[in-house]
Homo-oligomer: A and B are copies of this chain.
Amino acid sequence: MKPTAAILIIGNEILSGTTQDANIAWMGARLNQRGIPLMEVRIVRDDEEAIVQAVNELRKKYKYLFTTGGIGPTHDDITADCVAKAFEAPIGINVEARKRLEEHYASHTVELNEARLRMARIPVGGELINNPVTVAPGFRMENVFVLAGVPKIMQGMFQSVEGLLEGGKPVLSTTVSCNQKEGDIAAALGDLQKQYADIDIGSYPHMDETPSLSLILRGTDEKRLSAAAQKVAEIIRTWGEEPILEDIQQQKAS
């Protein structure tokens, strides 16, 4: 299977508008750097049926699935059980996960009570993912990586597994900025896209900003990307403006 990825975000707080998602952009950029395009994101409620169905659809459709959220100690943290159900795997206390929690809480003189012990429930066959921030681990089941929802913890967990991912060529990008109107250059841009099918050319107008239009080009072949960016610049020059060309770079995680 070609390297592709999906993210499943689990949590009522994102859907209710209480919390602004901060994980998609970060993980999307990070996957791009490894040549693993993020193809789809789903956000669902803390609801067993919705989670199980989404896990099963996405893990079959893409090479990697990352879930975020729902692995804490409270009643609405049901991700581990749902992933077990999706894989039809038994679930129970993982000995190594329990040991890590015991050591962590003992050193902080915090009680490892029944609620906290739930964080050691891992589906049988799951491999632990290190949590460098708050110890309670995530886990991997085949191509599914179960991560925390809190951005700092999610990022720490992602960094501890990203070396395992089989990627493609890193996606490079460059931006051509100008003040032309999108509708004026759209036809020429569409023709160019047909000539450069291997380059993804996106047009992003900004309101109340200068430059008012960003043309973002993405691809894995630096020469082709550079050639396409020059062609975009030529289109803009026919409208009498000298565009701003950015250096070609790997996508940065925000």
- Chain A residues near B (Cβ < 8 Å): 12-21, 24-30, 32, 37-45, 50, 72-76, 110-111, 113-116, 118, 133, 150, 152, 171, 173, 181-184, 186-187, 189-190, 193, 200-205, 207, 216, 218, 251, 253-254
Given the contacts A12-B202, A254-B20, A75 and B189 also touching, CB distance less than 8 Å: yes
Smallest Cβ-Cβ distance to A110: which chain B residue: B181
A201 contacts which chain B residues (CB < 8 A)? 75-76
Q: Which 9 A-B pairs have the closest CB atoms?
A: A17-B29, A115-B186, A17-B28, A75-B190, A41-B43, A116-B183, A73-B183, A74-B203, A73-B186
A190 contacts which chain B residues (CB < 8 A)? 74-75, 115
Instruction: Please determine whether B16 and A218 come into contact, CB atoms closer than 8 angstroms.
Output: yes
Cβ-defined partner of A75 (8 Å) among B37, B193, B218: B193
Smallest Cβ-Cβ distance to A117: which chain B residue: B183
Smallest Cβ-Cβ distance to A218: which chain B residue: B16
Instruction: Please determine whether B74 and A113 come into contact, CB atoms closer than 8 angstroms.
Output: no
Q: State A190–B72 Cα separation when bound (angstroms).
A: 13
A152 to chain B, nearest CB (A): 6
Instruction: Please determine whether B205 and A12 come into contact, CB atoms closer than 8 angstroms.
Output: no
Q: State A133–B205 Cα separation when bound (angstroms).
A: 13
A182 contacts which chain B residues (CB < 8 A)? 72-74
Instruction: Please determine whether A76 and B202 come into contact, CB atoms closer than 8 angstroms.
Output: yes
Instruction: Please determine whether B18 and A21 come into contact, CB atoms closer than 8 angstroms.
Output: no
Task: Pick 21 A–B contacts, CB within 8 A, sort by A.
Answer: A12-B200, A12-B218, A13-B216, A14-B25, A15-B41, A16-B28, A17-B38, A18-B29, A18-B173, A20-B254, A21-B24, A39-B45, A41-B41, A41-B43, A73-B182, A74-B190, A75-B190, A75-B193, A76-B203, A110-B181, A113-B187
Q: State A20–B150 Cα separation when bound (angstroms).
A: 17
A232 to chain B, nearest CB (A): 12
Q: State A73–B24 Cα separation when bound (angstroms).
A: 26
Smallest Cβ-Cβ distance to A18: which chain B residue: B216
